[in-house]
Chain A
């Protein structure tokens, strides 16, 4: 077993230069504690079909080596978050110019999760202190928003950050369920995270973090792919891989529709 783990670690470190994405460690452990967290999901792929209108995914997990007494006193806390692929985002602010509202200022932020859906046993403020949560990017308000390029004055930066979080939440891409993680038996828990209808496709990850008496114990990450399927996948690939052919097909479709219309309902 130990050999297997070592092999995995060696493989991962070898993989770092090739693909930075793989450099994300899947397990982070605080050696002070002996408890371990493990999670599982029923699928590692979510398919977006033509009638996709969002989905709930249920994550099951267990705390290994949990102290019975501490479990009974609710000393353990769990945060489960589904993070979307990282994309850089530009926030723009409209201002009135000559009576017309137009985009005037913009700040570009380094890549942040395109979506973030979080569930926890309790409100985050009761689980750990802000510094600890922020150091691990846990919670909508703790996701690091680092501007790139010129920013202008600093007071505006705060507004832009708040706006980004507000808009992400309003569109359903960022959401939280402060009591969405429930213990189903002593050390077994279940978390429900919501996928919005506008969820971005790509490589997502499910992060489960265990806290004990407000102290970080362990984080476990498993990947989850969100893909388009069937016709949607076909159309998307065609549009991006063979854009010229796709455009011509779109025109042919329109021509045939128009021609059919004029033949079926002949006007003259």
Chain B
């Protein structure tokens, strides 16, 4: 059964889209990620114009992060003050990102830059995560304690000025690296259509030494607002948010996520991280091949709005 997407201006198979949403929802529930880094490449593989895929991906991430953040808010594992500081950088970053996005589209290099960013980020983050989780699994096998955060140990980040106290996180930290991190993630949100959790979470844990229990809730909190802002600005400047596509992805995704969460709860943390790392690497490698292999058609045409 096909359904016409009013903004992408093409007909797609409704079951393929629902299946994509459910599969990505399952994985995002299992690994506790937003899923934007999976949905956007999948949509591009399915011939949705990249401009629409990125903007609609951001919209879909709003739904999955609202779900996640609410759960963390109930459990009290969300530092709103820290989230707001991240957000202030994030909104500025997203605004800059939209400008970059529109400029790349005019130059005809948008698709290339989106793919390159995915390859670089997914490749490096996936590689690091895999290395870390394999080490953890090995340590666990030797019955040594598994710890991500070494308390009391400080790095250069903790010597920066403009410090602020974050009660929930039990931290006294400079706002500079927090705002910069938010800014960088904001750019990625508008250019790549991701929430950026897969970069923000490791950065918060390893770089800012924020306690692991508040990291995911807080990152989801700021992702809600940055992706929401990006969706509105993309809709207003590039007219590229397809609400029909987003609604299909979201509804299937929310349901898929519930089953993913159940499976995820039965797995050990380091196994989950290793699984996520393999997934991230896999998507990165697939996109990398797309850049390196000779395409079937070296020409492309853009007529009117999005081209094909």
A250–B301 CB distance below 8 A: no
| Shortest distance from the beta carbon of A255 to any chain B beta carbon, whole Å | 5
| Any A CB within 8 A of the CB of B299 | yes
List CB contacts (< 8 Å) of B214-246 with chain A. Answer: 224, 228, 231-237, 239, 241, 243-244, 246
Chain A residues near B67 (CB-CB < 8 A) = 258-259, 261-262
Interface stretch, picked from A38-46, A163-171, A176-184, A217-225, is A163-171
Main secondary structure of the interface of B (DSSP, over half): helix
Which of B65, B108, B235, B261 contacts A267, CB < 8 Å?
A: B261
B299 and A163 contacting across the interface, CB-CB below 8 Å: yes
Chain B residue contacts of A87, Cβ below 8 A: 303-304
Docked Cα-Cα span, A171 to B2, in Å, equals 17
A203 to chain B, nearest CB (A): 14
B99 touches A (CB below 8 Å): no
Are the C-beta atoms of A268 and B291 separated by less than 8 Å?
no
Look across to chain B and name the residue whose beta carbon is closest to the beta carbon of A202: B304
A251–B108 contact, CB under 8 A?
A: no
A211 to chain B, nearest CB (A): 30
Q: Assess the A167–B297 pair: CB atoms within 8 A.
A: yes
Given contacts A254-B228, A258-B62, contact A235 B244 (CB under 8 A): yes
- Nearest residue in B to A160 (C-beta to C-beta)? B299
Total number of A residues with any Cβ neighbor in B under 8 Å: 64
Q: Does A102 contact B (CB under 8 A)?
A: yes
Chain A, residue nearest B70 (CB): A262
Cβ contact of A50, chosen from B3, B299, B307, cutoff 8 A:
B3
Check: A53 CB closer than 8 A to any chain B CB.
Answer: yes
Q: Which residues of B contact A90 (CB under 8 A)?
A: 108, 301-303, 307
Q: Which of B7-15, B84-92, B143-151, B267-275 contacts A (4 or more CB under 8 A)?
A: B7-15
19 residue pairs from A and B, CB less than 8 Å apart = A48-B4, A51-B1, A52-B4, A53-B2, A90-B302, A93-B299, A96-B294, A101-B295, A163-B297, A198-B9, A228-B6, A231-B6, A246-B241, A251-B228, A254-B250, A255-B66, A262-B66, A262-B68, A265-B254
Chain A interface residues toward B at CB < 8 A: 48-53, 87-96, 99-103, 106, 114, 160, 163-164, 166-168, 170-171, 197-198, 200-201, 228, 231-233, 235-236, 239-240, 243-244, 246-251, 253-255, 257-262, 265-268
